[in-house]
Structure formats: C-alpha cells, structure tokens
Amino acid sequence: MPILGFGVYQVPPEQTEKVVTDALAAGYRSIDTAAAYGNEEAVGRAISSSGIPREELFVTTKLWVQDNPAEDNTRRAFDTSLRKLGLDHVDLYLMHQPYRDVHGQWRAMQDLHRDGLAKAIGVSNFHPDRLVDLTEHNEITPAVNQVETHPFHQRTADQDLMRDRGVQIESWGPFAEGRNGLFTHPVLSEIGDTHGKSVAQVVLRWLIQRDVVVIPKSVRADRMSENLDVFDFTLTDDQMARIATLDTGTSQFFDHRDPGMTTQLGNHRLTD
C-alpha cells in the first residue's frame, strides 16, 4: 500500500472521472473511494481508460452501514461496489463506520478476503475500544484503520495501540479542511519557508515521517503534483516536536462516539 495516495471524498460524481484521470497522470497509484461517496463508477471509468496495468494500482473502497442480515447485505454491497468500479477485486475494503452489526459485517468481509476479492480488509473511524473489540473476537485483524488525523488531532496514542495490534493507521482529512487556520498557521508556515515548501507539503511530510498513510484530495492538477512532491526533504526532530504542540486532542469535525452522531450515521442508508 503506497504511503501517499489520492482520495475522492466530496468530489462530485460528474467531476470525479477527470479528477482521477488527472491524479493518475500526476503519478498517483493509490485511489480511495467509498460507496457513500457516490462516485465509484466514475473512479472505475478513469481507471479503465488510464491504460495503467491493474497490478500497478491500489484501489480502496468502503462498506456503508448495513441492515440485518449484515453478512448477506455486506456481500451484496461489495458486489455492487465491485460492479460500479468495473474491477474483479479491490486491494483494500474498509468498514466505513463502527455501527450496527459490525461483527456480522466483518465476518462477511473476512470471507471476501479469503475468496481473494478483497486483498486486504480494514476499518474506518474506529476508536481504540471498538478496534480492540473487533480484533479480539474475530479471526482476521484489520489491516488498516482510517481515521481523522492531522496536526490538530494527531492520534498519537491511537497510533501506538494500532501499531501494537498490527493495524496501519491511515489519515483522512490531513489538512483538517483548512479548519483552525491550518494553511496560514505560523508554525507550519515557518517550517515550510525553511524548506521552500507549502504548508500542505509540510503536513504531508509530517504524516509520512510518522508512518501514517495519507490520501489528500484536490481537484486541481497543480495541487495534485505539489502534494506528491514531498519526498525530497525531511523535517528535523525539532520541527516534528513543534508540530506535536499543535495537537488539541479533539476532532475538528465530530466525535463518532457522540450519541446523536451514532444515531444519524447508523441509520443513514444509501439509495443505491
């Protein structure tokens, strides 16, 4: 799994094919989508028309919350995603939310993995308690946990637990969608000036040096290329320590353990 990939969250379906085409042309080989994003078909068209051999690509999609019987519905949801993508397998299949019958969903995902249809399986938005519960009561440990991770919510303790459990942390929202003044933050800006790099590049480099897989999104080809250009410099220990001081320890979006959010997300259903 490449440590730096490309995400398509909030990219409208009508723009996604061009955006992914541009990302592949820029050099990305890892693409992250989800059933809930509504753009799997467009991702599949871009992959198909790219001419890039399938074995050079790493494709991730995600399972939305399923009604009971969770195992049967998970298999149907996966088949739908695979059909929309136009692929015969995905490289990583993630459970998008930690709600409803997660164990039933995971049993079905384990079968998909055993059948070779999902080369790896993992989860998203699982806090440590939910991750430990899933891990200790199933056969296969999630390969990945994709969670909100950025300078203002660094998840250091969560990453330590994941590492101890053999789970790779992956960041969504690496730029916090610009919240808390990220792109003009004086600490990040000063570090960027030292290296001749943008704040976005500093953030991506910081995550990479922490061994966090990251999937930044952009609809602009120049920004896509800029986000890839982060392997020619290294943050010093002092710079890493300065960024560590920015951690607020809280989400910039919402808490998946909030009862209201649990109800909202756990009861939302996709129309297709």
Active-site residue, 9 included = no
DSSP state letter for 155: -
**Using an 8 Å Cβ cutoff, are 174 and 214 in contact?**
yes
Rounded CA separation 271/121 (Å): 24
**Using an 8 Å Cβ cutoff, are 202 and 195 in contact?**
yes
Instruction: Provide the terminal-to-terminal Cα distance of the chain, rounded to the nearest Å.
Output: 29
How many other C-beta atoms are found inside a 10 Å radius of the C-beta of residue 13?
14
Which ranges constitute the DSSP H helices of 155-247? 156-165, 186-195, 199-209, 221-228, 237-244
Q: Is 150 helix (H, G, I), strand (E, B) or coil?
A: strand
Q: Encoding tokens for residue 126?
A: 């699982």
**Using an 8 Å Cβ cutoff, are 188 and 203 in contact?**
yes
- Strand-pairing partners, residue 147, are 171
Beta strand residue intervals within 65-185, DSSP E: 92-95, 121-124, 144-148, 168-172
Rounded CA separation 238/188 (Å): 13
Residue among 28, 37, 93, 99 flagged as catalytic = 37
CA angle 113, 159, 197 (to 5 degrees): 105
> What type of residue is 213?
V
Q: Is 95 helix (H, G, I), strand (E, B) or coil?
A: strand
Rounded CA separation 144/142 (Å): 5
Q: Which residues are catalytic?
A: 37
